[in-house]
């Protein structure tokens, strides 16, 4: 189906071939990520962020500016008419009438799909509750592809809050298109939800689970770390029980392959020691930086910017 005019609600709306088109385009966009390529002149992107964000929102903004387009939008509803009781559907209808595409982040699972049903313009899901964060997963796979030249054959450890982190859900969906070995690592209460385990089984994905990062670290090419998603816990006491339960530090990475890389969608809280930042394993800041060319490629493909 390609990308033009498409909504991006989950990674599973796309095929492996679509992702590879995106990665090739992102590699091309790296040349312009600190300059300008005016292929979206006159296009407007609406950013509807009902939840906080640093990287996703600002990398979409940077991407649109680098491509010559403009933005409207909000972060938090305090200064919008939702504070007066306007509903989500009417808010999306308005953005749809002003802009060429809408990026939405919302705490409710399914909010982006709902917005896509209301809007005629393409809707891009920038995170809905604990469910999906597809453009983060696209960025994560792009980072692996840039580092290793392939995703097939990688051994990937995913460490942290596998229950509530939407990036984990989307990452595993995206990895289902590739032949990878997965080591899932988490405290027992933060094991993946049943739906995600069933998804992996249905796709024939090879995985194991442990609560001990030391058992997996020596086998992985990529250690993908996520923070505990405090804001998603129904009971704050459950968060207190797992708080600080894992940490990536120099002692752990001593056991890793020399070529192992550490990725993290960020923000980091306390799960990666600052001392790790200066090791040759750390890739999380580079990963975040690649968010600009990746989202430039995404906007170009969806909005139809043409260049050689
Ligand atoms: N990775 C990510 O989604 O970061 P933000 O919450 O800062 O957008």
Q: What digits encode the pLDDT tens for the residues 172-204?
A: 999 999 999 999 999 999 999 999 999 999 999
Q: What pairs with residue 125 in β-bridges?
A: 104
Q: What pLDDT digit, counting tens, does each position of 115-161 carry? A: 999 999 999 999 999 999 999 999 999 999 999 999 999 999 999 99
- Spatial strand order of the sheet with 261-263 comes to 206-210, 181-185, 155-159, 222-225, 261-263
Which atom, in ligand 1's list, is nearest to the CA of 56? 8
Query: What domains does the chain contain, in order, with CATH numbers?
Result: 11-132+290-303 (3.40.50.1370), 134-288 (3.40.50.1370)
d(CA 211, CA 294): 33
pTM score over 0.85: yes
Q: Tell me the best of 266, 269, 284, 292 to mutate to test the pocket of ligand 1, counting ligand atoms within 8 Å of each CB and taking the most.
A: 266
For the cut 70, the answer to whether the pLDDT of residue 256 exceeds it is yes
Q: What is the mean pLDDT of residues 240-249?
A: 92
Contacts within 8 Å (CB) and 24+ apart, 110-119:
111/50, 112/9, 113/9, 114/88, 114/89, 115/48, 115/88, 116/7, 116/9, 118/89, 118/92, 118/93, 119/92, 119/93, 119/95
Structure tokens at 74: 């909000």
Residue 77 C-alpha to ligand 1 middle, in angstroms?
A: 18
Q: What is the mean pLDDT of residues 246-250?
A: 97
For the cut 80, the answer to whether the pLDDT of residue 305 exceeds it is no
pLDDT at 285: 98
Q: Tell me the best of 53, 57, 126, 167 to mutate to test the pocket of ligand 1, counting ligand atoms within 8 Å of each CB and taking the most.
A: 53
């Amino acid at each position: 189906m390609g990308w033009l005019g498409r909504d991006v609600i989950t990674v599973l709306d796309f095929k492996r071939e679509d992702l590879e088109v995106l990665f090739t385009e992102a590699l091309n966009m790296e040349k312009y990520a600190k300059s300008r390529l005016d292929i979206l002149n006159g296009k407007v992107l609406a950013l509807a962020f009902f939840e906080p964000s640093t990287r996703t929102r600002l990398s979409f903004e940077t991407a649109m500016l680098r491509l010559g387009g403009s933005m409207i939008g909000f972060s938090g509803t305090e200064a919008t008419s939702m504070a007066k009781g306007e509903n989500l559907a009417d808010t999306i209808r308005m953005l749809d009438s002003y802009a060429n595409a809408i990026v939405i982040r919302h705490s409710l699972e399914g909010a982006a799909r709902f917005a896509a049903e209301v809007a005629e313009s393409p809707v891009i899901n920038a995170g809905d509750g604990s469910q999906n964060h597809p453009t983060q997963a696209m960025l994560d796979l792009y980072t692996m592809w840039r580092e290793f030249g392939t995703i097939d054959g990688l051994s990937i450890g995913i460490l942290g809050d596998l229950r509530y982190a939407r990036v984990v859900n989307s990452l595993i969906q995206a990895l289902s298109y590739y032949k990878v070995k997965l080591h899932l690592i988490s405290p027992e209460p933060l094991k993946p939800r049943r739906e995600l385990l069933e998804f992996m089984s249905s796709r024939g994905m090879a995985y194991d689970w442990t609560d001990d990062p030391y058992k997996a670290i020596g086998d992985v090419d990529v250690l993908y770390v996520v923070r505990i998603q405090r804001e998603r816990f129904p009971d704050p006491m459950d968060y207190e029980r797992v708080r600080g339960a894992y940490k990536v530090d120099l002692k752990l990475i001593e056991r890793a392959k020399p070529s192992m890389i550490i990725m993290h969608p960020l923000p980091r809280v306390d799960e990666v020691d600052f001392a790790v930042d200066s090791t040759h394993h750390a890739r999380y800041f580079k990963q975040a930086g690649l968010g600009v060319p990746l989202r430039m490629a995404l906007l170009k493909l969806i909005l139809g910017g043409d260049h050689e």
